[in-house]
Amino acid sequence: MLYMVTNTLPLSAANHNASLSSPSPTIMFPIYHISKFLETNYTNNESFSLARLGRDETTQATRYPNTTLLKSSGEYVVEIGLGSEGLLAHLLFDTGSTFMWWQCLPSSSCFKQEDTFYDSELSGTYQEVNCFDEVCNIELPFIDGCLDEEEVCNYKIQYSDNRRSIGIMANDKVSNEDGSWSEYVYFGCGRNNTGDAFHGTYSGVLGFAFDPYSFPFQVGATRFSFCLDSIENDGSALYLHKIPTFQNDDVAFVVPLRHSSTRPQAYYLGFKGITIAGKKVPISANKWKINSAGQYGVMIDSGTLITRFPGEVYEEIRNQFVKEVWAYEPSSNKVHNMLDTCYEIDGDSVDDFPTMSFHFGDGMAIRLNPNHIMYRIRFGMYCLAFAAMHQIEPVTILGSHQIQGTRITVDAVAQTVRILPHQC
């Protein structure tokens, strides 16, 4: 079962009398791949592909064992209005983050960003959080409480690559693109942000983990749905509350959510196994279940590019994949430390590579075509888009490259995930 936090009231209900008992029927936010906003910082496709892998590798190593060390990059951003003026900003969409924050003016130090800066002094609905407010919970790793006899609550986010965001806890209104919906949320107002983390692609983090401080829970949305579009397309939509009906809804299937006592904020799935070219990979069913130590299990993570498996699981998958790719020999050229199985091919199509399927029970499966399981480095060079984890506790993390084009609906009340393949 999905872990439900019951000892904390919805944070947005405080101070502004937010109505959570009558949620809006459908709230939509645009969601884009960050490449839409990237400047031309890369000389060619290969440098861009390797840069994406580098960000993913650097930030993944310490993502889960210690919640004070978080990711500072991801693949997708949500467009959302901030403050009384509804200033449009792009915030990193991350189901693995519990906290939401964005850069604020006035500030002593800030990251580069292309979005217009949110100025707390210009928002007529902005309020600072008093350090005696119950929201200022110093037992949480990202809240510092009162400093130097101040009365305002402070926060500090330390990232895995020594980047950080420091500021104060605040409360303000957020809205959708046309201003037809708005709600008050608590967030971190970042005023001292060090490190070149954003490259102009976004101005903060929109945490979507299962936690009272995350965005969906603050606005009372016990149900949300997202689809991660490809780099080449123009984006898709994130929905809250009531989810619209999509074409081919009859092919969707429902998977139970699971609970891990060591990571209660994560969205775990009921997972059954993997097949490659229709053949089952011989992996013990125990590797897909969460054990008493909170190890193993399978989680969704929108902030991760490459799907990661425990080391011994990955070896079984890789070895069987190599056997099925009978037409090619793995390349001896090592293009990146994280990906160890690459192929140099004639042309630029991977259609003759095998398919892979993720199975969830009762015959339900996501079928991954070759472009979902192969990562393009450059013209004619592709790598198996999976990696082994050795630095963190054994767990399988489904990355955005594999679930790209799949609509996923998380229902916290029903404790299920609804999966609709290829419906961005």
Residue type for 160, please?
S
The answer to whether 190 touches 117, Cβ cutoff 8 Å, is no
Topology given in CATH for the domain delimited by 249-420: Cathepsin D, subunit A; domain 1 (2.40.70)
Percentage with pLDDT > 70 across the chain: 85
Q: Rounded to 5 degrees, what are φ and ψ at 276? A: -125, 125
Mean pLDDT of 9-16: 43
Examine the pLDDT at 424 and tell me if it is beyond 90: no
Residue type for 129, please?
V
C-alpha distances out from residue 383 to 61, 75, 77, 235, 287, Å: 20, 19, 26, 25, 24
Band of residue 1 on the pLDDT scale cut at 50, 70, 90:
very low
Other CB atoms within 10 Å distance of the CB of residue 284: 12
Closest CA to 174 of 81, 239, 267, 95: 81
pLDDT at 41: 58
- Domain 11-241 grouped into CATH 2.40.70.10: yes
Mean pLDDT of 343-369: 91
Q: Mean pLDDT check: name the lowest of 12-21, 92-101, 125-134, 250-259.
A: 12-21
pLDDT at 52: 78
Band of residue 3 on the pLDDT scale cut at 50, 70, 90:
very low
Contacting residues for 274 by C-beta, under 8 A, at least 6 apart: 280, 281, 283, 317, 356, 357, 358, 359
Q: How far apart are the C-alpha atoms of 406 and 424, rounded to whole Å?
A: 7
pLDDT in tens, 60-83: 654 443 444 344 457 899 999 999
**Numbered ranges of CATH 2.40.70.10 in the chain:** 11-241, 249-420
Q: Measure the CA dihedral 354/359/363/368, to 10°.
A: -40
- Which range, 296-305, 318-327, 383-392, is most confident? 318-327
Examine the pLDDT at 2 and tell me if it is beyond 50: no
pLDDT at 38: 67
pLDDT in tens, 135-177: 999 999 889 888 777 789 999 987 665 667 899 999 999 999 8
Closest CA to 134 of 156, 150, 155, 153: 153
Q: How far apart are the C-alpha atoms of 112 and 59, rounded to whole Å?
A: 19
C-alpha distances out from residue 340 to 305, 334, 388, Å: 16, 7, 10
pLDDT at 160: 61
pLDDT at 77: 92
How big is the CA angle at 262 (ends 258 and 268), to the nearest 5 degrees? 25
pLDDT at 6: 29
Tokens of 237: 């939509």
pLDDT at 68: 40
The answer to whether 37 touches 114, Cβ cutoff 8 Å, is yes
Q: Would you name the residues annotated as active-site residues? A: 94, 301
Tokens of 417: 């995930």
Mean pLDDT of 285-302: 90
Q: How far apart are the C-alpha atoms of 195 and 91, rounded to whole Å?
A: 17
- Is the model more confident about 147 or about 217? 217
Q: How far apart are the C-alpha atoms of 293 and 1, rounded to whole Å?
A: 16
pLDDT at 44: 67
Band of residue 238 on the pLDDT scale cut at 50, 70, 90:
very high
Examine the pLDDT at 36 and tell me if it is beyond 80: no
Whether the predicted model's global pTM rises above the 0.85 cut = yes
